[in-house]
């Protein structure tokens, strides 16, 4: 069974916020460091479009990352993501802070992470998800694993699944772009 067929639609129904890690989820997990200490990260535009569509479906998006980077703050602003916590080495606490800011319970969240630092927060959420190339321990705990690697469409696939599960496909994708779930692999 592929990731489209195995998406937990019932579990995903009613999700109010998607919480995303950055390195290894929104990016490939590579960090290029410049001589001056600045970082370069590559973000997938299809993941970004998935986030924008998910927001149009009425589902909040938050970023929770263990690293600090100006690039991440710029990307979050570019995508209209207002809930952002960087430098969170205790992500369970970071998740609670995000939920308090958004007025949403962790039980109403989906989480996509790729490494052990994500597990404490992931396990508090209703829906635990991971990119295809996540660390083995994360893959073991995930209720759903994307067919795509981090930084290569995993977030987009998750966003589409959440849109479908929450009954917003018609307005967000079909009316806007003329594509049915089947046209997109669902």
pLDDT digits over 48-100, tens only?
A: 999 999 999 999 999 999 999 999 999 999 999 999 999 999 999 999 999 99
| Radius of gyration of the chain measured on its C-alpha atoms | 15
Q: Summarize the confidence of residues 156-184 as an average pLDDT.
A: 97
**pLDDT grade, residue 17 (50/70/90)?**
very high
pLDDT surpasses 90 at 165: yes
Q: Minimal CA–CA distance to 156: which of 80, 15, 14, 53? A: 53
pLDDT at residue 91 in the model: 98
Ordered domains of the chain (ranges, CATH): 17-136+146-177 (3.40.50.1000)
Please enumerate in sequence order all residues whose Cβ is within 8 A of that of 23, keeping only pairs 6 or more positions apart, or say none. Answer: 29, 31, 41, 65, 67, 114
Q: Summarize the confidence of residues 111-132 as an average pLDDT.
A: 98
Q: Summarize the confidence of residues 151-167 as an average pLDDT.
A: 98
pLDDT at residue 37 in the model: 87
32: helix, coil or strand? strand
pLDDT surpasses 80 at 1: no
Supply angle C-alpha 79, 129, 42, rounded to 5. Answer: 40
Rounded CA separation 163/169 (Å): 6
Q: Minimal CA–CA distance to 160: which of 129, 120, 123? A: 129
Please answer whether residues 15 and 126 qualify as being in contact, where contact means their C-beta atoms are separated by less than 8 angstroms: yes
Residues β-bridged to residue 85: 64
Please answer whether residues 150 and 114 qualify as being in contact, where contact means their C-beta atoms are separated by less than 8 angstroms: yes
Share of the chain above pLDDT 70, in %: 100
Share of the chain above pLDDT 90, in %: 96
Average pLDDT, the chain: 97
pLDDT surpasses 80 at 106: yes
């Amino acid at each position: 069974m592929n990731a489209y067929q195995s998406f937990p639609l019932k579990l995903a129904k009613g999700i109010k916020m998607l919480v995303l890690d950055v390195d290894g989820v929104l990016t490939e997990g590579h960090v290029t460091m410049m001589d001056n200490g600045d970082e370069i990260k590559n973000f997938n535009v299809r993941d970004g479009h998935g986030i924008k569509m998910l927001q149009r479906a009425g589902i909040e998006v938050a970023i929770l990352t263990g690293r600090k980077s100006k690039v991440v703050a710029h990307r979050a602003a570019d995508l209209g993501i207002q809930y952002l916590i960087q430098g969170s080495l205790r992500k369970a606490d970071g998740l609670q802070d995000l939920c308090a800011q958004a007025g949403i319970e962790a039980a109403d969240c989906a989480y996509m992470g790729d490494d052990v630092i994500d597990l404490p927060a992931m396990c508090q959420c209703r829906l635990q998800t991971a990119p295809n190339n996540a660390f083995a321990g994360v893959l073991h705990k995930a209720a759903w694993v994307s067919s795509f690697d981090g930084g290569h469409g995993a977030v987009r696939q998750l966003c589409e699944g959440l849109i479908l599960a929450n009954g917003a496909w018609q307005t967000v994708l079909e009316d806007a772009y003329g594509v049915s779930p089947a046209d997109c692999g669902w």
